[in-house]
């Protein structure tokens, strides 16, 4: 008998999210006389057999948690996902890219992190995402101050669920995708939020390349599609503040919008350690050519 692991955020799944997930996979609502039930009909792709799924329509019903878990097991066993955690991600985070940041303690494993550290890290990664959006909007080596576009993008993002580890946090960037089933044979939509994630992914790839070659110029030369000087600076500030704690960063792409083929490896872990810190520090210094944002200039005459 198989044993299934259910992640902590499984109970954030509502009947509406399950319905929308099945609709995107070609299933349809069935009009059922018992309005307390959500009934969906569809086809299991792997075996091409018709099937029905029944779930309480109200998440506050006593048996909802148990029935939800049964439903997830059925969907995994039917080939909708490789595991329960992957399926939960597909249902909960279908319309967003997620940055996962995991701090590793030096020496003995820390069970807790000082509150001021946590607050500082969240604020710095907010700046990192904001500068990524600012650079994507107006590619520059370095910004004297954060632009309006960067601030507004950061306000559009969310602080997601923490996860198991010495300290783990998530930043969720919504992609504003349509909830309906996409039309076959049409190209995927162009979404600004995704282009910001792609910039971060290319920056991570360039950082790994620069570390392997021990050459910060790799990061400098890739600034038009990767990290700006501000993004490098924020990451070095984070590392300095954490006093020797390494940071593991990775991107979880929205399951409804596949990443570009050359960015597939960006889902893998990227470590910010002493070696990458030195590379980022040198690249940041080289990119510190200040361009004033046009939107903040005032001309009088």
178 phi and psi, to 5 degrees? Answer: -65, 145
Percent of all residues in the chain with a pLDDT value above 90, rounded to a whole number: 56
pLDDT, position 144: 92
The pTM of this model reads: 0.82
pLDDT band at residue 154 under the 50/70/90 scheme: very high
- How far apart CA 32 and CA 23 sit, in angstroms, is 17
Query: At residue 301, does pLDDT exceed 60?
Result: no
CB 85 within 8 A of CB 7: yes
Q: 204, 190, 176, 188: which is closest to 270 by C-alpha?
A: 204
Pairing of strands 49-56, 37-44: antiparallel
- Kindly report the number of other CB atoms within 10 A of residue 66's CB atom: 10
pLDDT, position 264: 76
Query: At residue 102, does pLDDT exceed 70?
Result: yes
Query: At residue 300, does pLDDT exceed 70?
Result: no
Residue 85 CB contacts under 8 Å (≥ 6 apart), including other chains? 5, 7
81 phi and psi, to 5 degrees? Answer: -160, 165
* Torsion of the alpha carbons at 284, 285, 289 and 293, rounded to the nearest 10: 40
* 86 to 11, 60, 93, 134: CA distances (angstroms): 15, 24, 10, 31
Q: Using CA of residue 10, residue 178, residue 186, residue 133, what is the dihedral sign?
A: negative
Q: pLDDT tens digit string along 177-199?
A: 876 655 666 666 778 999 999 99
Q: pLDDT tens digit string along 28-46?
A: 999 888 989 999 999 887 6
pLDDT, position 185: 65
Q: Using CA of residue 150, residue 152, residue 156, residue 160, what is the dihedral sign?
A: positive
Pairing of strands 37-44, 28-29: antiparallel
Rg (CA), the chain: 22
Q: SS3 of 29, please?
A: strand
């Amino acid at each position: 008998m198989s044993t299934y692991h259910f992640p902590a955020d499984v109970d954030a799944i509502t009947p509406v999210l399950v319905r929308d997930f099945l609709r995107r996979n070609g299933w349809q609502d069935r009009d059922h006389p018992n309005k307390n039930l959500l009934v969906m009909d569809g086809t299991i792709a792997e075996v091409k057999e018709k099937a029905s799924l029944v779930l309480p329509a109200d998440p506050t019903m006593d048996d909802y948690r148990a029935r939800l878990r049964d439903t997830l097991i059925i969907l995994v066993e039917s080939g909708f996902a490789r595991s329960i955690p992957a399926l939960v991600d597909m249902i909960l985070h279908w319309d967003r890219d997620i940055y996962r940041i995991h701090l590793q303690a030096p020496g003995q494993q820390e069970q807790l992190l000082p509150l001021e550290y946590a607050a500082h890290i969240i604020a710095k990664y907010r700046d990192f995402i904001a500068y990524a959006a600012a650079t994507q909007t107006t590619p520059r080596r370095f910004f004297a101050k954060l632009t309006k576009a960067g601030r507004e993008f950061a306000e559009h993002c969310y602080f997601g669920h923490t996860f198991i580890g010495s300290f783990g946090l998530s930043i969720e960037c919504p992609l504003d995708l349509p909830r309906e089933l996409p039309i076959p044979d049409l190209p995927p939509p162009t979404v600004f939020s995704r282009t910001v994630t792609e910039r971060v992914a290319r920056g991570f790839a360039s950082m790994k390349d620069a570390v392997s070659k021990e050459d910060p110029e790799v990061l400098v030369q890739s600034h038009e599609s990767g990290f700006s000087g501000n993004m490098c600076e924020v990451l070095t500030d984070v590392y300095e503040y954490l006093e020797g704690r390494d940071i593991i960063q990775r991107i979880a792409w929205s399951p409804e919008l596949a990443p570009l083929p050359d960015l597939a490896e960006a889902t893998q872990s990227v470590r910010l350690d002493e070696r990458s810190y030195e590379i980022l520090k040198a690249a940041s210094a080289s990119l510190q050519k200040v361009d004033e944002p046009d939107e903040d200039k005032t001309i009088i005459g």
